[in-house]
Structure 1
Amino acid sequence: MTFVDDGLLTDTPDGPALLGSRCTDCGAHTFPRQTGCPRCSGARMADVPLHRTGTLWTWTVQGFRPKPPYTGTAGHEPYGVGYVELDGQLLVEARLTESDPARLRIGMPMELAIVPFRQADDGPTHTFAFAPAGDPS
């Protein structure tokens, strides 16, 4: 499987997880990985898999095509974007698999999903998103 960036994810016994950093001095988490801590300015960061589940902290629906230099397809489908709180770690901004406002609510359980991002001649490129927990789609 091809990803937009191979450094965003790691394999765990429970499946793929976002790969973040944790400061060994103050315990702050970052995503994506960083070499320095934004909380204490420490330089001792360790790679850690982040939680695969969390809660929807806030969200919106991107209803229009992004402005240039967007290089995606000419057509545009609205998509959900939100912040998912990974308990005890951090908030992650991510695409959501759901875009229907009637099916999204702040505080709902979410889980990591791997989704197609774009199609190329050599096959699809994938990225991460968050889906409502237990959503079969």
Structure 2
Amino acid sequence: MPPVPIADDLFTWPDDEPRLIGGRCGECGAYAFPLRTGCPRCGATAVERTLLERSGTLWTWTSQGFLPKAPFNGRFASADPFEPWFVGVVELPGQLRVESILVGCPEDGPAIGMPMRLVTMPFRTDEDGREIVTFAFTPDDSSPDEGDLPVSPRTPGEADHA
């Protein structure tokens, strides 16, 4: 069975270069994610479906150091033993900030201001055995500003140390 996205109209799927699907207000120009029927800034209903930028800059981050409460059921939420993962806010240039899981970051944590790009990742397997995928951001190795940061292959739920 092919993988399926965690929700419809959240990101382009299937896509080798996924984009988040947001909205842009026709009245005030504000962006929103996820796509909504009304503008969160001015309340207008003239919101147009918009593909958001694929790359951005890490605005802030933290480590998710505790098991999420139910009904969360992602693959890394029930890992035994529990392993923390990174969560951050990525600023998409000229648009908005998006909260996301961060993958592929240096073991000691990402750096605020580092270039990031959108990827998809396995989230869980549903009752029918289908893989459910979600979006995440990862350091953008193609950026000339990133330098030679050591990047671990860590994904949520994997141990930090060998």
What TM bracket, shorter-length normalisation? 0.7 to 0.9
Task: Output one character per residue of 1:82-112: Cα deviation in whole Å (capped at 9) or x when no partner.
Answer: 1000000000011111465624111000000
- The one-letter code of the counterpart of 1:107 is G
Percent of residue pairs bearing the same amino acid type? 47
Distance 1:136 1:79 in 2: 12
For the pair 1:124 / 2:148, whether they are aligned, the reply is: no
Task: Output one character per residue of 1:6-45: Cα deviation in whole Å (capped at 9) or x when no partner.
Answer: 2101269982200000001111000000111111111100
- The one-letter code of the counterpart of 1:130 is F
For the pair 1:105 / 2:111, whether they are aligned, the reply is: yes
CA contact 2:105–2:138 (8 Å) conserved in 1: no
| Greater strand content | 1
CA contact 1:112–1:131 (8 Å) conserved in 2: yes
Instruction: Give the 4+ runs in structure 1 shifted more than 6 A.
Output: none
Q: 1:113 to 1:132 in 2, by over 3 A?
A: same
What residue number does 1:114 align with? 120
- Alignment gaps of 5+ in structure 2: 142-150, 154-162
CA contact 1:61–1:99 (8 Å) conserved in 2: no
Q: 1:99 to 1:136 in 2, by over 3 A?
A: closer
Q: What's the TM-score once normalised by structure 1's chain length? A: 0.88
Distance 2:59 2:51 in 1: 20
Q: 1:48 to 1:63 in 2, by over 3 A?
A: same
SS in 2 for 1:17: coil
Alignment RMSD: 2.4
What residue number does 1:36 align with? 38
What residue number does 1:22 align with? 24
Q: What's the TM-score once normalised by structure 2's chain length? A: 0.75
For the pair 1:77 / 2:79, whether they are aligned, the reply is: no
Aligned residues: 137
